[in-house]
């Protein structure tokens, strides 16, 4: 069960009563995604082709923003999104993301309609591979230049924020690769460092003082 809400920048999010948690920041879903994952992550990668992993595919907002960047910059991106609990399409259709980012509804629909566990060409520069599965048990057949860590907060989903998870992700990160997350907790920063990443605190999106970015040097 979800409750559709409009955030401060006009874009939608879902509230999950069972978790007492939102999918995105109430201070602006689009604003948060662009700040944390596009500006602090994707725009820092200089390769001519980019491999992205998203932890928490959710509404597909990070994926569709990345697709737009791939198209506007003519950079081929292979995007892997992992999600254990996909959102039913009836809820996805309520989201106003296509209107807010001036994108055709058909592209956003295909993002969610395409098959799981198979590559899908969303755009000439954007290939999506959605995985329905549990990250704690997942083994990937590729490595990544960029990881969007967008799981629910540590208090809500503690199993996703563990030393074992970050060690696993470090091993899947290419040299000079980046992991970026909205979370700035000291415990998360220390786990990232223990895994082998160099970390830095950055100014957060509206409503958050800081966020974290980690690099594999």
The answer to whether the pTM exceeds 0.85 is yes
The Cα–Cα gap between 38 and 21 comes to 23
**Cβ proximity of 57 and 63 under 8 Å:** yes
Q: How far is CA 59 from the centre of its chain?
A: 10
**Domains (ranges, CATH) in the chain?**
26-215 (3.40.50.150)
pLDDT confidence of 17, banded at 50, 70, 90? very high
Query: How high does pLDDT run on average in the chain?
Result: 96
pLDDT tens digits, residue range 169-179? 999 999 999 99
Radius of gyration of the chain (CA): 16
Rounded CA-CA distance 17/39 in Å is 30
Give every CB contact of residue 127 below 8 A, 6+ residues apart in sequence: 76, 77, 78, 79, 119, 120, 121
Please compute the mean of the pLDDT values over residues 142-150 and round it to a whole number.
Answer: 97
Segment among 61-70, 72-81, 136-145 with least mean pLDDT: 136-145
Q: What is the pLDDT of residue 104?
A: 86
pLDDT at 180: 98
Separation between Cα atoms, residue 111 and residue 168, nearest integer Å = 27
């Amino acid at each position: 069960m979800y409750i559709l809400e409009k955030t401060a920048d006009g874009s939608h999010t879902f509230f999950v009563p069972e978790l007492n948690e939102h999918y995105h920041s109430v201070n602006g879903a689009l604003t948060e995604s662009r700040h944390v994952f596009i500006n602090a992550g994707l725009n820092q990668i200089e390769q001519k082709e980019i491999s992205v992993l998203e932890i928490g595919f959710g509404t597909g907002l990070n994926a569709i923003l990345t697709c737009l960047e791939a198209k506007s910059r003519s950079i081929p991106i292979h995007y892997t999104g992992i999600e254990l609990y996909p959102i039913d399409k009836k809820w996805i259709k309520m989201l106003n993301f296509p209107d807010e980012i001036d994108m055709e509804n058909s592209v956003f629909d295909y993002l969610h309609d395409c098959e799981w566990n198979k590559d899908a060409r969303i755009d000439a520069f954007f290939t999506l591979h959605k995985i329905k599965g549990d990250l704690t048990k997942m083994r990937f057949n590729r490595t990544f230049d960029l990881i969007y860590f967008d799981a629910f907060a540590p208090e809500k989903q503690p199993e996703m924020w563990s030393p074992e998870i970050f060690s696993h992700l470090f091993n899947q990160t290419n040299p000079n690769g980046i992991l970026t997350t909205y979370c700035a907790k000291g415990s998360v920063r220390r786990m990232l460092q223990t895994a082998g990443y160099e970390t830095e605190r950055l100014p957060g999106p509206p409503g958050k003082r800081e966020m974290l970015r980690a690099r594999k040097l």
